[in-house]
């Protein structure tokens, strides 16, 4: 019976290693899925911009307008706090 115990321990260790390996593989798979989604969106954005060159300039104007608006809101918020 003494010989059976090390085999059981080895089996348990092997099972734990396999479980850890499976968890690591699942984490890696999730990361790969996230990277794949990002790459797909980047590709979509590149194709969209190349298909419609005016889109890039429109996006730039939209971003500038947003930043100006954000600045105005912050300025008015500060003025409101000071009153």
- Burial readout 14-34 (b: 16 or more C-beta within 10 A, e: otherwise): eeeeeeeeeeeeeeeeeeeee
Say yes or no: 41 and 14 in one domain: yes
Say yes or no: 39 and 71 in one domain: no
Give the range of the structural domain holding residue 70, as residue numbers without chain letter.
53-82
CA distance 69 to 77: 12
In a domain, 1, yes or no: no
pLDDT in tens, the chain (83 residues): 455 567 778 888 888 999 999 999 999 999 999 999 999 999 988 887 778 878 778 888 999 999 999 999 998 888 887 87
- pLDDT for res 1: 47
Contact of 72 with 79, CB cutoff 8 Å: no
CA distance 44 to 48: 6
pTM, whole model, 2 decimals? Answer: 0.48
- pLDDT for res 23: 93
Say yes or no: 45 and 58 in one domain: no
- pLDDT for res 44: 87
Say yes or no: 35 and 58 in one domain: no
Say yes or no: 16 and 46 in one domain: yes
Structural domain total, the chain: 2
């Amino acid at each position: 019976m003494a010989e059976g115990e090390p085999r059981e321990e080895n089996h348990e260790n092997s099972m734990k290693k396999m479980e850890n390996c499976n968890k690591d593989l699942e984490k890696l798979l999730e990361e790969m899925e996230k990277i794949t989604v990002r790459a797909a969106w980047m590709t979509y954005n590149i194709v969209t911009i190349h298909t419609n060159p005016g889109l890039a300039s429109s996006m730039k104007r939209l971003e500038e307008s947003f930043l100006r608006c954000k600045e105005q809101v912050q300025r008015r918020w500060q003025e409101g706090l000071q009153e």
